[in-house]
Every structure is written in structure tokens, then in C-alpha cells.
Amino acid sequence: MGKLMGFLEYERCLPPDRDPLERLKDWDEIHGALPLDSQLEQAGRCMYCGVPFCHSGIAIKGTPTGCPLGNLIPEWNDLLYRQEWDAAVDRLLRTISFPEFTGRVCPALCEGACTCGIHQPMVTIRQNELTLIEHAFETGHMQPYIPETRTGKRVAVIGSGPAGLACANRLNQFGHSVTVFERADRLGGLLMYGIPNMKLDKQIVDRRIELMRAEGIEFVVNAHIGVNHSAEGLLSEYDALVLCCGSTTPRNLNILGREGPGVVYAVDYLTQNTKHLLDASHPLPPEMNAKGKHVVIIGGGDTGTDCVGTALRQGCKSVHQLEIMPRPAEERTEQNPWPEYPRILKTDYAQEEAIAKYGDDPRQYLINAREIERDDKGAVRAIITDDIRWAKGADGRLSPQPVEGKSRKWPADLVLIAMGFTGPEETLVDAFGLPRDARANVAAVNYRTERKGVFVAGDMHSGQSLVVRAMNEGQEAAAACDQYLKQL
């Protein structure tokens, strides 16, 4: 281990974030950086466990534990502490394609399973990872990796989100010629348009894509397969296809008053805002602008949180984030022991900003939306909700039950639906004639669909999940595709 008993000598320390009120004035990333000596101390806290759980990538009682990618965390923490930079980042890149993304947006399942976290704050694994990869870019260590030989096989990857990019990266390293097709006008998928700039600067995405271009990967934008590009044409042109298009059908809110202006899906809201931010000539539709409006967000997850941060920067009058689930506990409960990921209350960046601006946490728990109230012109003016409790029904399953006499009315000019996604969109799936499984995802065995030479990975294969899991699926699908191509 890098520092004997370092976990006892040094306290957990993260870089200070920019002041909440100051950062609301721009769209720049919110996190700062520690001085080098302090960051090395954080790496020295790693216990180099005999049986580390941080990179286990398993599930306990259905709860994910440790890094799905199997990152060799104790090894590169040790190398980082010793300042063996090149060896450390090379060890990191053996298992993960893009640590500069996960180092910014991953919820750090690894830290939840850190052995140090049993008795004291866990190791700052995610920040250590980010330090390594950014140092590698800054010092010129990150150079294009161009395979010495090419196999002559051609692969099309559909979708340029975390799964698609990771898959393309690995396939290219195997020596295949890879073309990535993206239906949007910019590359990156969720990384580009689903995550706001203050969490992931789009220059970081572009930097990686330019490196991939230099490595020989081709990219095509504005390519909507099944609409302006033929699915069957791709099958005849390429030796294999890997579908990595995400789970992009948003879950709807079927309540009175839902239809009409002023009610927007969160993913559309975030996308339009980022498009306008990156290109001022791209108009921001009025219904996507929260300036001067009371904003209510339905959904308490990360996407809802990103909507809070975006609405605040647009200059909203007020913002509330409604969550149907109970408020999480302050600390682990007996039902959520280590090494499960800690399901505890966390105040994310956007909640911090709302508290700093308005004095109150925007999150409201055990709330169920019942009706969207409109004025005589059809404009949204309020949302009516019920306080609920979770109770077992006759079938023994928990369900939300309204609490009698506990309804509320929230002023609202803009309602954002951030309730997750129900599966991949129909266009591409139908274009290839692919069956779905019981969860509406594309059915596959070892990432292979029923169509010969067609593979699937990421959220459209396993359902809505994390960036790190999508990357892992992209990498594993690339390995499965490589094995198929070797048999041709």
C-alpha cells in the first residue's frame, strides 16, 4: 500500500466547490481541485485491502456494489500516491475507457463499497481517478492509440453515448474499422445533451472524441437509422452492428391537465438548453426557458436535480422538486449495510444552490401529482398534489395511498417531467425487426440479438442505468462482437 496506516493519518477531503451563488452566474463546472500534496494524501488513504470490494461489480440483494467495470482501484491508488503517473493511468485505462467522464458524473459505487467506509469516511476514489486522467491529458501522456494492424472487418456502432463510445473504442483497439452513427447534430449522446455543462463540460466530451478520431474511428452525425439511413443498408455494408441507442422513451405523467403547453419532458428541456448554450444562434424555445417562472419538477433523481440547476441558471422565480418516495435516512440503516451502496440523504449541487438562493431545500418527499391546473387560456398556473404514504394492498405489495385532507397546490408556470424512461424508442428496434424482453428492452444473449451480426449494449439492452454501467456494457459487447468477427 502507498502509505502504511494512511487511512488513520489523513482525513477524507474533497476539492472545494465554487460558491453556490457565484456559480449560478455561469454554466462552468462547479468543482475545484485540491493541491497536489493533498490529493496524494487522499490516494494514501487507500487500505490496499486483501479482499477489496470497491472493484467487485456485484449485486447484493439486487443492490449494486462496487465498480461495474472492475477498476483495479487499490493498484492505481498506490501508484498515484507514489507519483508513478504513467503506470497509474495505464493501470486505470486497462478497465475503463473514459475516466474523465466517470470521474465527473459517476455516483461512485466503488466508494460505497470501500472497506475504509465501514468505520470512517471512504477513500476519495472518484476524485483520485479524475486526477489521474486529467494529469495524463495535461502532460501529453494521452496520445492516439492506433492498432499496428487492421483486421479488415468493418463495424457500425449506432449511438454515441457512453455505451457506444466505449464499444467503439474497444473495437478499434481490437483492430476493426469502426464507424459511429449519431442521430443528433453533436456527438456524445447522454454525455452531450443529457448532462448539463456544469457537471460535464462539453469540451471534455469533444476532447475525447477528437482523440478517437485520431485513432481512426469515423463519426457520422444527423444519422437517424430507420429514418434517413437504411437499417438493411447498414447490414449489407458492415460485418457487424452494435446498437447503443439508450433507453430514451420518457415515462409519462398521466394526470388531468397534462396535455398542452408548459409541461415538458426533462430530457427535452436539458437538451434544448445545452444546444442553446453551445450555439447562441440556436433559439431556446420559450417553453424551455424557466426565466421568471415558477418551476415544478416531477421526479427526485439525478435528471430532476439537473433540471433544478438548469432552471436556477435560467433565472426561475421558484423551483420545487417533487418525489413520491420517502426522504432517505441520514445514515445507513440495518437494511442497507456495507458494502451495499449507501441509500442515504445526499444534498447534490443543485439543491445546495437552491438552498443558497431561496433558503429551502427544493425537494419535497411523499408527494404525488394529481392535477395540472390551467387558466382560461390554457397556460399552466398550478399543480395539485396529494401527500401520500406507502401501504400494503390486498396483494401484499406496497403502493402509494393518498393521505386524507393532505392535498396541496403549488404555483407553477412550467412543469418538468423527470420520471425516468421506459425503454428504447420504437424506430430503430422496428427497423431491425428485433424482439423485446419482458422489460421492453432489446432481447439478447451475451449482447447478441436474434439478427445475425447485430449486437446491443447499454440502456437499450439492460434498461435505464448509470453511465458507468453503460460503459461496461459497451466494452463487453465489443468483446462479444470481436469474438463473432473472428469466426467470419
Q: Model confidence over 78-98: pLDDT tens digits? A: 999 999 999 999 999 999 999
**Residue 209, phi then psi, degrees to nearest 5:** -65, -40
| Nearest CA-CA partner of 38 in 17, 9, 61 | 9
Q: How far is CA 30 from the centre of its chain?
A: 17
Which grid cell sits at 49? 485491502
User: To which residue does cell 483492430 refer?
Assistant: 175
Which grid cell sits at 23? 456559480
DSSP annotation of 317 reads S
Report which residue type is found at 226.
Answer: G
Report which residue type is found at 177.
Answer: S
Q: In whole angstroms, what is the distance from residue 482 CA to residue 479 CA?
A: 5
**Contact call for residues 380 and 412 (beta carbons, < 8 A):** yes
In this prediction the pTM is 0.96
Does the structure show a pLDDT above 90 at 62?
Answer: no
Percent of the chain whose pLDDT exceeds 90: 93
Does the structure show a pLDDT above 80 at 286?
Answer: yes
Predicted confidence at residue 89, as pLDDT, reads 98
**Domains parsed from the chain with CATH numbers:** 6-138 (1.10.1060.10), 154-248+421-486 (3.50.50.60), 263-417 (3.50.50.60)
Residues 393-402 have pLDDT tens digits of 888 899 999 9
Does the structure show a pLDDT above 80 at 64?
Answer: no
Does the structure show a pLDDT above 90 at 20?
Answer: yes
Which grid cell sits at 297? 419538477
Residues contacting residue 404 through CB under 8 Å, at least 6 positions apart: none
Rg of the chain taking only CA atoms, in angstroms:
23
User: To which residue does cell 391546473 refer?
Assistant: 373
Does the structure show a pLDDT above 90 at 273?
Answer: yes
Residues 433-488 have pLDDT tens digits of 999 999 999 999 999 999 999 999 999 999 999 999 999 999 999 999 999 999 99
Q: In whole angstroms, what is the distance from residue 334 CA to residue 125 CA?
A: 25
